[in-house]
Amino acid sequence: MLESVAQAFVFALAAYASLGLTFAVPFVWFGVRRLDSEAAASGVGFRLLILQGVAAFWPMFLFRWVRRITEPPVEKNPHR
pLDDT tens by residue, 43-79: 899 999 999 999 999 999 999 889 887 777 777 888 7
72 compared with 36, residue with greater pLDDT: 36
The CA distance from 45 to 78, in Å, is: 37
Number of domains the chain contains: 1
The CA distance from 36 to 38, in Å, is: 5
| 29 lies in some domain | yes
- The pTM score is 0.78
Can you give the pLDDT at residue 69? 78
| 80 lies in some domain | no
36 compared with 10, residue with greater pLDDT: 10
Can you give the pLDDT at residue 27? 93
| 9 lies in some domain | yes
The CA distance from 80 to 77, in Å, is: 6
